[in-house]
Amino acid sequence: MIRQILNRLGQGLLVLFVLFTLTFFLVRLLPTGPFKTERAIPEHIQAKMEAYYGLDQPLLVQYQRRLTNLVSGDLGSSLRLEGREVGEIIRQSFPVSLQLGLVAIMLAIAIGVPLGILAAWRKNSLIDYGAMALAMVGICIPSFVIGPLLADQFGRRLEVLPAMGWNPFSPVYWLLPAFTLGLISAAYLSRLTRAGMLETLNQDFVRTARAKGVGEARILFRHCLRGGLIPAVAYIGPAFAAVISGSLVIESIFAIPGLGTHFIKAMETGDEPVITGVVLLYGSLITLANIATDLLGLWLNPRLRTTG
């Protein structure tokens, strides 16, 4: 087991190295640059700025320098927000994305899983159709429609929740963005839970349990839930990584100081150190989330343990 984990971590490091190399060279292909401003910067000044950041060096020298710094833990500093360390940018904005993502995924689980169980339990009933229709709506309506509608309703009309902004200590600021962000995951979770539960409910051991007179609630929660959740759990890992890595749309709708905005801005301006920093962060997160999901899967599904 431990060997397995170490093995996966080793593979992860290799992935990160490849990611860094690819990103570093791909960014150079962008037709843009961090020193392009609306008002042209005179050439002699632009040349000075490039020299200041070592951008006048041959590409391989730059690559080698960045790689050496990276290994020693230095992500470099931003070219767009000059003077800001990439590490500092991530330290300031990632906790916001992480907190928002955690709240969103918890909301998604709290809404999606019970809805799925309910739908499976009352299969083909009004409850089932209602829950699944709701899920379909959640999947189909994009967050850039839901978000502004919610902000307008609760912010302007009812004046009960702020229409934008972020305060890590005040839940009123989390509710709308987290709900908007978590909605699509909630929808998927409810459908996956429903499917998983239905499959388990159709198994022989459930029939046996019923025949032995076991109560519905006990069958549902004691016998079926663990097996029925397997598809949902497999989804939660990657969804979690995606959700905490910052959503540009949500951040823009609610003016949240998260990581997504930095990433897009960096892409627009060819700010290589920030792009690489964020790509590496996402890469590590997804690698870790996948390992965690696999472990959770092992715990939920004993069959995997013997074959693994």
Partner 1 sequence: MLRRLLASGLLALSAASCQKQTEVERANEAGILLVGNSAEPKALDPQLVTGVIESKIIGALFEGLVADDPEDDSALPPGTAASWDHNEDMTEWVFQLRPEARWSDGHTVTAHDFVFAYHRMLSPDLAAPYAEMLYFIDKAEAYNKAEIDDFTQVGVRATDDFTLELRLREPVPFLPSLTRHYTWFPVPEHVVRRFGDMTERFTDWSEHPNLVGNGPFQLKEWRFHDVIEVERNPHYWNAADVGLNGIRFIPIENPYTEARAFLAGQLHTTYTLPPDLIDTMAEDYPEFLRQEPYVGTTFFRLNTTRPGFDDPKVRQAMSLSIDREALCEHILEGYTPARTFTPKMGTYEPEPVLDFDPEKARKLLADAGFPGGKGFPRYSMLISRPAARASAEAVQAMWREHLGILVDIQNMDWGSYISAQQSLEFDLASAGWIGDYLDPTTFLNMWTEGNGNNNTGWHNDRYEELLKQAALQADTEARHRLLAEAEAVLMEEQPILPVSWYSRNYLHRPEVKGWHPLLLDNHPWSAIRLEP
Of 28 and 226, nearer to partner 1 (C-beta) is 28
Is 172 a binding residue for partner 1 by CB under 8 A? The answer is yes
Residues 257-296 that bind partner 1 (CB under 8 A): 257, 261-262, 268-270
Residue 169 interacts with partner 1 (CB under 8 A): yes or no: no
Contact between 216 and partner 1 by CB under 8 A: the answer reads no
Among 87, 130, 148, 238, binds partner 1 (CB under 8 A): 148
SS (H, E, C) 150-201: HHHHHHHHCCCCCCCCCCCCCCHHHHHHHHHHHHHHHHHHHHHHHHHHHHHH
Q: What is the largest CA-CA distance in the chain?
A: 87
CA 288 from chain centre, in angstroms, equals 12
87 contributes a contact to partner 1 by CB under 8 A: no
CA distance 154 to 160: 6
Q: Which region among 13-21, 28-36, 216-224, 279-287 touches partner 1 (by CB under 8 A)?
A: 28-36
Instruction: Calculate the dihedral angle through the C-alpha atoms of 13, 16, 17, 22, rounding to the nearest 10 degrees.
Output: 160
**Tokens at 154, concatenated:** 């609760």
Report the residue from 1, 29, 31, 213 that binds partner 1 according to the rule CB under 8 A: 31
Choice between 3 and 39, CB closer to partner 1: 39
User: Closest CB to partner 1 among 136 and 149?
Assistant: 149
Nearer residue to partner 1 within complex by CB, 76 or 231: 76
Q: Closest distance between partner 1 and the C-beta of residue 93, in Å?
A: 6
Position 151 contacts partner 1 (CB under 8 A): yes
Question: Distance between CA 228 and CA 194 in Å, rounded?
Answer: 8
Q: Which is nearer to partner 1, 12 or 155 (CB)?
A: 155
Q: What's the CA gap between 286 and 186, in Å, rounded?
A: 20
* Cβ-based nearer residue to partner 1, 91 or 207: 91
Residues in CB range of 253: below 8 A, 6 or more apart: 143, 144, 147, 148, 151, 164, 177, 180
Asked if 56 is part of the footprint of partner 1 (rule: CB under 8 A), the reply reads: no
Q: Which stretch binds partner 1 (CB under 8 A): 17-25, 56-64, 87-95, 232-240?
A: 87-95
Site size with partner 1, rule: CB under 8 A? 51
Asked whether 138 and 240 are in contact (CB, 8 A), the reply is no
- Residue 19 is a binding residue for partner 1 (CB under 8 A): no
Contact between 245 and 97 under an 8 Å Cβ cutoff? The reply is yes
Tokens 């909605």 belong to residue: 183
DSSP 8-state secondary structure symbol assigned to residue 30: S
Asked if 156 interacts with partner 1 (CB under 8 A), we say yes
User: Judged by CB under 8 A, which of 49, 98, 214, 225 binds partner 1?
Assistant: 49
Q: What is the CB neighbour count within 10 angstroms for residue 261? A: 18
Q: Is residue 119 within 8 Å of residue 194, measured between CB atoms?
A: yes
201 binds partner 1 (CB under 8 A): no
Contact 275, 74 (CB under 8 A): no
Q: Does 95 bind partner 1 (CB under 8 A)?
A: no
As a residue count, the chain comes to 308
Q: Which residues bind partner 1 (CB under 8 A)?
A: 30-33, 35-46, 48-49, 52, 80-83, 89, 92-93, 148, 151-152, 155-156, 158-166, 172, 252-255, 257, 261-262, 268-270
